[in-house]
Chain A
């Protein structure tokens, strides 16, 4: 045999052996075990229609399903309880084909549910959406563009008995008719408020449904020891299967364990009493990264951290040069490195990385004290000025504010920091009673509309999201046009134009983008941190090797 042929055969043999060895070492999923996930407080709401916080959302993602779900890397939406969908009539009609064989939970708190474990149909979806309106869900207005929303909301006056824009075409076909073309509509439906529930159980329990949640998700509520833990057990009828057609979930259950103190939670994790620790605190970040290596998962979170100027009052009203000056006066990278261990990357604009339409070439503000001084002079404050910065009570926010305060002082800008609790902070920002305020925004749905339109369109001044009371007719027009544009590339172009104008106007100090983190024990397998945040980490395909 020629020498070359021998070498080739040897290579083939070696390659084959390595492949087989790799296959032998590749882990196969293991059924069984409980995963203990740390929560900072008891979830206030387990009814998806009423929950607005991330702790509740963690539990809800485990017990319920939506029509569509977000791709784990934030690249778009994927089928969930809807197998497929189609837009028509210029994007004003959306028709969803539902997955067959999806069943509601048979059990809740150890007792049989009123629905008996029956199949989900299109009628259940119509009921779910209408219930959101009837029960004053804080998030029903996200889909106010569905025809008949206002009539149904004011049904006492109009006499409307149903939400006319939601149609059940047959048991597995659901249709939405919109009053206007709304390009992000399908993305919005992935939000964790829009998850199907059974009429029988909702009507049986009324407001108490919050304590008897019944969905279609991989886990069912077994026990709720308030302020201690939420115990979920596997749903044996869960619709999802793994790649080989095996039943999911692998876990026997999940416990959401309430440990309010971060130090204690970390010690509990080190001791092995917790399997997953989300939203990892700054105090132990460096140690945990060094100790746990790849078990410490971290990635950009689709969110933005900023200081808003009150654009409706002095000194920032109508003074673009002043707002730009403050932006040039802040060294974002240095502050992130010094104060928060570099966890938050510096931000140039509104849209964070991971958001469709994010512009890596956006022209933002770099740290340039000379330019800042020149702009201060142009703005009429050559020696600096004094103003108040309000932040909500949180050690990280205070630390960042103090660092920025020190930095701005170098240019004669005296920032007086006022710390208030969250409720007061929201109230005051909404009523434009601040001069500068800290705010953060994390994605609701994967569309630039969720950031640019919500936070900066002039129709959303105040509580609807535009706390800086920013107004620019040109930006408004671009954002309104992008909302109804169905061509994706054109939409992105419109959003990028709008964002550049916004950055130039500087209604905010563009500071950072968020990151999300999740620490898992070495015996927890196949747990992947999604771009939508740690609390949405899917657990249906996670397994544990230690019981």
Chain B
């Protein structure tokens, strides 16, 4: 397993380099001059030239690229054109908020989704099954911003159970609605997949044998069936975690949540190259790490899995 882990870690290097290079090239070809945007609508050419020189934008592209790579290898993601904030500082500050939101959203989604999926599978074609799957399809289809708005209108602005939007001073009450909003879709996906995997496993011969031997249904489902159904579910949980950790810009916008999603979008609009590159590299890292953790977890879930 250690060799597998090491190999996977080494694979991340060319993947990251590819991401970094593609992002650099895209920023070079996309229209819009960051120095021009910084100056605003009115700017004299001489000042514009000086600002571009200050930012290193007057260098030939290949020199900009090598300079950027050199800084990256030293762990320097650069400084935001827009706000003069160190990109690494900006990311670390916003990531905390994103992590908090993503963590609780996934906890909610996993617990709700897996539970609903198991019960739906065990009680297939029951009222619970139909209701749960109807809600799951709705959850997958409903736009996130619409769900967020509805929750806010209901609980914050009509019932006044929630104080409002924003991060507050980190109080948990501000987390409730954004977690619900963000968790709905992953919960729906997880519920549907869990149900589908459980149904497949529950129809296996060994399950019939376990029941025939007189084992309690709870033991049959949780101990014998669930473990075998979990691998695809863990995969999807992994991808959802990676997606949420990369920022949820719609949820962050609706709830004025200071996360990475909004940071990335604002950087794009302002052509803030260092921030764009920094957020993309960060998101790529998140996906790579999450995939690695998911891969390694297979061995714990299913002892038959061998890492080669």
Contacts and interface: CB of A to CB of B under 8 A. Distances in A.
Contact of B44 (A227, A229, A441, A463): A463
A464 B254 contact: no
Interface residues of B, number: 51
A208 B86 CA distance: 10
B61 interface: no
Interface in A227-248: 227-229
Contacts of B47: 136-138, 140-141
Given A261-B253, A422-B37, A138 B32 contact: no
Contacts of A259: 165-166, 256
A225 interface: yes
B156 A208 contact: no
A424 interface: yes
A430 interface: yes
A52 B45 CA distance: 16
A426 B37 contact: yes
A260 B43 contact: no
A227 B85 CA distance: 13
A360 interface: no
A292 to B, nearest CB: 17
B202 to A, nearest CB: 45
Interface in A446-505: 454, 462-465
A207 interface: yes
Nearest to A263: B149
B293 interface: no
A260 B32 contact: no
B41 A441 contact: yes
Interface string B28-55: 0001111011111111111110110010
B90 A226 contact: yes
Contacts of B277: none
Interface in A13-66: 41-42, 44-45, 50, 52-53
Nearest to A426: B36
A46 to B, nearest CB: 9
Given A259-B166, A267-B157, A421-B269, A52 B256 contact: no
A228 B166 contact: yes
Interface in A197-221: 207-208, 210-211
Contact of A261 (B84, B254, B269): B254
Given A423-B33, A427-B31, A465 B42 contact: yes
Interface in B57-112: 79, 82-85, 90, 93-94
A268 B254 CA distance: 12
Nearest to B149: A263
B298 interface: no
Given A45-B83, A424-B31, A463-B36, A228 B43 contact: no
A264 interface: yes
B24 to A, nearest CB: 18
B36 A427 contact: yes
Contacts of B153: 267
Given A423-B270, A463-B48, A226 B94 contact: yes
A418 to B, nearest CB: 13
A227 B41 contact: no
A264 B40 contact: no
B84 A208 contact: yes
B192 interface: no
B302 interface: no
A229 to B, nearest CB: 8
A153 interface: yes
B241 interface: no
A167 to B, nearest CB: 24
A260 B257 CA distance: 10
Interface stretch (B7-15, B135-143, B258-266): B258-266
Contacts of A226: 85, 90, 93-94, 258
A3 interface: no
Contacts of A261: 253-254, 256
A271 B156 contact: yes
13 contacts: A44-B270, A136-B54, A138-B47, A228-B167, A267-B156, A268-B165, A421-B269, A422-B269, A439-B41, A462-B45, A463-B36, A463-B44, A464-B42
Given A228-B258, A264-B254, A267-B157, 8 more contacts: A52-B39, A52-B40, A138-B43, A138-B47, A260-B256, A264-B165, A427-B36, A463-B48
The 10 A-B pairs of least Cβ separation, nearest first, read A423-B32, A227-B258, A52-B40, A138-B39, A44-B83, A141-B44, A424-B31, A273-B164, A423-B37, A259-B256
